[in-house]
């Protein structure tokens, strides 16, 4: 009988310790986990980016030396593609729980453009929509899984919004300035990145597993790749989009 009690007590203690260790150490493990990085290559004909005539908004026009151009396709000088949203589409264990978001993600409307043009956010994480122009912008979110909204900011101000469901992508637009578009990827986990001016992206802190990675571009659609992460190594996943 005594033996049984000892075994039970030991098992319970072990279980408690394991669970405790697992829940405690998980963020650390994630932080040290694997990474996926890569470049978004661009081949084919580079489309002409039309100039945006902002003469109707002198406040915005004044913020540019050269006439700003449309952001639907931004090809970097090194021949890579910017503004590609790369994220883990599938492969996370079902028990995975995302860490609480550190703070709001800011979407700035400056010079009659969205900064950034493509961004990701966690479900439940506040999106701080900021108007730095001091003129009317409206923000129309046309999501299908998230409640659509259409709000306006007649002057310098910040409005907070949160999103309740994963959705890639929620289109955001300003109807006063028809050229203003932004794309918001809402995900239940923090494993996403947006390709930068070098065309590079990096997703860090992945637990071991085999993942489906998707690269999304507003004009050229999506590409997927499968990547297996075993430890703390950095795997490479390059994508390539072709101009038409």
Partner 1 sequence: MTTVAARTQPAPPHHDDRSFLRKYIFSTDHKIIGIQFLFVSLFFLLVGGLLAMQMRWQLGFPGKPMPGGGILPDTMAPGGVILPEYYIQLVTMHGTFMIFFAIMPLLVGVYANFLIPLKIGTHDMAFPRINMWSFWTFLAGGVVMLLSLFVPDGASRAGWTQYVPLSARHDYSGASLGQELWSVAIIFVGLSSILGSLNYISTVINNRAPGMTWFRLPLSVWALFITAILGLLALPVLSGAAIMLLFDQILGTHFFDPTQGGQALLWQHLFWFFGHPEVYILILPAMGMVSDIIANGSRKPIFGYRSMVFAIVAIAFLGWIVWGHHMFVSGMNPTLGSSFMVSTLVIAVPSAVKTFNWMGTMWRGNLKFTVPMLNAVAFVAMFVIGGLSGIFMAATPVDMFIHDTYFIVAHLHYVLFGGSLFALFAAIPYWYPKMFGRLMHEGWGKVHFWLTFLFYNLTFFPMHILGMAGHMRRIYDPTQYVFLQPYQPMNVFISVSAFLLFATQLIFFVNFWWSLKRGQKADLNPWQDNGLEWTLPSPAPHGNWERVPTVYRGPYELSSPEVTEDYLPQTRKLPTDREPAAATAARH
Partner 2 sequence: MSWWLPPRASTFTGPIDGLFIAILIITGIAFVLVEVGLIWFIWRYRQRPGRKAFYTHGSNRAEVIWTTIPAVTMVALGLISNHYWVEIKGRNSIPANAYPIGIHAKQFEWQVTYPGADGKLGTGDDFTVRNQLHVPVGQPIVLSLSSEDVIHSFYVPQFRVRQDIVPGMDIKAWFQATVPGTYELGCSQLCGLGHYRMRAQVFVQTQADYDAWMKQAAQEASK
Binding site for partner 1 (CB under 8 A): 136, 138, 140, 142, 147-155, 157, 159
**Residues in contact with partner 2, total (CB under 8 A)?**
12
Sign of CA dihedral 194, 200, 204, 208: positive
Burial (Cβ within 10 Å: 0-12, 13-18, ≥19) of residue 83: buried
Longest Cα pair distance anywhere in the chain, in angstroms? 88
Peptide bond into 116 cis (omega under 30): yes
Residue 97 interacting with partner 2 (CB under 8 A): no
Planar angle of CA 68, 71, 77, nearest 5 degrees = 85
Residues 184-243 that bind partner 2 (CB under 8 A): none
Quote the least distance from Cβ 132 to partner 2, whole Å. 18
Choose between 151 and 202: whose C-beta lies nearer to partner 1: 151
User: Candidates 23-31, 39-47, 174-182, 218-226 — which segment interacts with partner 2 by CB under 8 A?
Assistant: 174-182
Q: Which does 157 bind (CB under 5 to 8 A by kind): partner 2, partner 1, none?
A: partner 1
Query: Of the candidates 37, 106, 132, 152, which one interacts with partner 2 according to CB under 8 A?
Result: 152
Quote the least distance from Cβ 48 to partner 2, whole Å. 6
Quote the least distance from Cβ 43 to partner 2, whole Å. 23
Rounded Cα distance between 77 and 97, Å, is 39
Burial (Cβ within 10 Å: 0-12, 13-18, ≥19) of residue 115: middle
Selection from 185, 224, 184, 231 nearest residue 205 by Cα: 231
Q: Which does 230 bind (CB under 5 to 8 A by kind): partner 1, partner 2, none?
A: none
Residue 50 interacting with partner 2 (CB under 8 A): yes
Give the SS3 label for residue 218: coil
Quote the least distance from Cβ 58 to partner 1, whole Å. 12
In the complex, the residues that contact partner 2 under the rule CB under 8 A are 48, 50-51, 53, 56, 136, 138, 150, 152, 175-176, 178
């Amino acid at each position: 009988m005594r033996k049984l009690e000892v075994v039970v007590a030991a098992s319970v203690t072990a279980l408690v310790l394991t669970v405790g260790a697992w829940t405690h150490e998980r963020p650390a493990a994630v932080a040290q986990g694997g990474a996926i990085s890569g470049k978004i290559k661009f081949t084919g004909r580079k489309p002409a980016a039309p100039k945006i005539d902002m003469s109707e908004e002198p406040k915005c026009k004044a913020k540019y030396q050269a006439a700003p151009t449309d952001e639907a396709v931004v090809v970097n000088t090194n021949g890579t593609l910017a503004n590609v949203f790369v994220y883990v589409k599938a492969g996370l264990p079902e028990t995975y729980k995302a860490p609480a978001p550190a703070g709001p993600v800011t979407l700035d409307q400056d010079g009659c453009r969205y900064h950034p043009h493509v961004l990701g956010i966690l479900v439940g994480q506040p999106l701080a929509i900021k108007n730095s122009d001091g003129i009317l912008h409206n923000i129309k979110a046309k999501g299908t899984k998230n409640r659509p909204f259409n709000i306006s900011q007649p002057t310098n101000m910040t409005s907070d919004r949160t999103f309740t469901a994963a959705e890639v992508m929620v289109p955001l637009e300003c109807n006063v300035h028809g050229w203003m578009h932004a794309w918001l990827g809402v995900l239940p986990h923090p494993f996403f990145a947006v390709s930068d001016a070098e065309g590079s992206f990096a997703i860090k802190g992945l637990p071991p597993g085999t993942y489906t990675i998707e690269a999304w571009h507003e004009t050229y659609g999506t590409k997927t790749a499968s990547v297996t992460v075993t430890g703390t190594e950095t795997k490479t996943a390059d994508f390539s989009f072709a101009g038409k």
